[in-house]
Amino acid sequence: MAHNIPAEEVKLYVWPGQWDLPSYDPYSLGAIMYLQLAIPGKFHVIECTDPDLSPSGQLPFLVHEQEAVASYPSIIRYVAGLAQSDKSTYPGADVDSFLPTSLRSQRNAWVAHVEANLGNLVASALFASEENWEGLTLKALATIFPVPQKYYVPSKLREAYQPRLESAGLWSQLPPVEEKKKTPFEKELRKRRAFDTKKVQQTFIREKIVAKAKPTLDIYDRLVGSNRYIFEDRISSLDVALAANILLLTKPPYPDATIKDLVTASYPNLMAHAQHVEDRILGSNTLPLKTERHSYSLWSLFPSTLFSFRTARRPQAAAKTDEERHIGHMRWGFAGLVVGVVCAYMAVLAPSQLALAARVMEQRRLERKIYRGEVDGEDEEYDEEEDDEYFGEEAT
């Protein structure tokens, strides 16, 4: 299990693999491929379905010693930095070391563009199409989540993608149609017409998806051209990010293969580029990935914010900023103030409250004696049963 891996080892937490790929998520797949290229054999892939473990609440994230780093660009920067901080152990960690400063800036911009645009196409293929969702993605996700999460988390994931894909014009689900009560004759009469209408709507949506996808794919087709790789015929982190998305557009067996058919038929350069990168990084001549599954407990059913001891399992993040430290100090100050107020109350006001309570009880005792005509008698010890008898008689 993951907790048996030494702390000095690099651990990469990712969404699990599907369809002969190490992960079904383009960001996780890109991170795996980069680490396999930069530090082969010196990291562990931890398949995980609990984003609450991540410092950012999202997968993938990387843990190394006391550092926890989330998001694909941040992971790339951290791993590349190992070439400087521990060159003897990770001599090839900076895959983009051959790029000059100007090209590094371009690479950063292109990687962000790939994540935003090709990432939307992958999400559309996996989550937007009703055929792909029911026939491929839902079944795949149900196999990677434990019970009972497998019954509700996949739908939550799809709902999370919907606003993003709708704003990009890539949500291809047909709107629900309100069914009105019809006689058997009306149903039979309109059955064929309804089928034709749905078919026309699906054709229109697919054409809209193709129209949205083509400009994006054209950009990357021109970027790659007929070259083996993008920069100087040497592989870079941009090649990895681009290939990860193209592989997820073309390798899964989509029931609705609208985007897959578009890429395979119209963009052979992108297909060849993705295949070169996959063979170079994940081919039969490379070191096998060291993959493990993250262990689960009952607490994984609940959000980590509900239980402070769950957050303690989260890997230690990077050093806090001045603002975060200030907020932390303010919280501790407020907690100290509350404790001080409680202590002051107990020290100053509590004795007077106790004295007042004693006087009230003495007054009740005197009233009981007056009621029974025992005022002139000697004082008696307080008896709880007499109190109950007195107030019971008074109630009647």
CATH code of the domain containing 17: 3.40.30.10
Tell me the C-alpha to C-alpha distance, in Å, between residue 285 and each of 62, 278, 279, 335. 25, 11, 8, 59
What's the CA gap between 119 and 112, in Å, rounded?
A: 10
Which domain does 373 fall in, by range? 322-395
Q: Report the chain's mean pLDDT, rounded to a whole number.
A: 80
Position 274 in a domain: no
Tens of pLDDT along 308-332?
Answer: 333 334 444 445 555 556 666 666 7
Tens of pLDDT along 136-172?
Answer: 999 999 999 888 888 888 999 999 999 999 988 888 6
| CB atoms closer than 10 angstroms to residue 203 | 10
- Domain co-membership, 334 together with 297: no
Determine the average pLDDT of the residues in 107-122: 93
Phi, psi of 379 (to 5 degrees): -65, 140
Q: What is the secondary structure of 297-340 as a DSSP string?
A: -GGGGS-GGG-HHHHTTSPP-SPPPHHHHHHHHHHHHHHHHHHH
- Domain co-membership, 84 together with 152: no
Position 282 in a domain: no
Strand-pair category, 291-293 with 43-47: parallel
Position 52 in a domain: yes
Position 279 in a domain: no
- Domain co-membership, 114 together with 79: no
- Domain co-membership, 301 together with 356: no
- Domain co-membership, 46 together with 186: no
Helix boundaries (H) for 237-304: 237-250, 258-266, 268-282
Whether the CB-CB separation of 129 and 172 falls below 8 Å is answered with yes
- Domain co-membership, 91 together with 104: no
Tens of pLDDT along 328-346?
Answer: 666 677 777 878 877 777 7
- What is the share, in percent, of the chain residues with pLDDT greater than 70? 75
Determine the average pLDDT of the residues in 205-210: 87
CA angle 339, 342, 344 (to 5 degrees): 110
| Structure tokens that stand for 230 in this block | 């993008």
What's the CA gap between 205 and 129, in Å, rounded?
A: 10
- Structurally, how many domains does the chain consist of? 3
| Structure tokens that stand for 85 in this block | 């901080």
Q: Please identify which residue in the block is written with the tokens 């079904």.
A: 24
Strand-pair category, 61-64 with 43-47: unpaired
- Domain co-membership, 227 together with 121: yes
What 3-state DSSP class applies to 25? coil
Helices and strands (DSSP H and E) totals, the chain: 15, 5
| Structure tokens that stand for 59 in this block | 């997968």
- Domain co-membership, 33 together with 7: yes
What 3-state DSSP class applies to 97? coil
Q: Which residue has the higher pLDDT, 142 or 284?
A: 142
Q: Please identify which residue in the block is written with the tokens 């959000």.
A: 303
- Domain co-membership, 312 together with 348: no
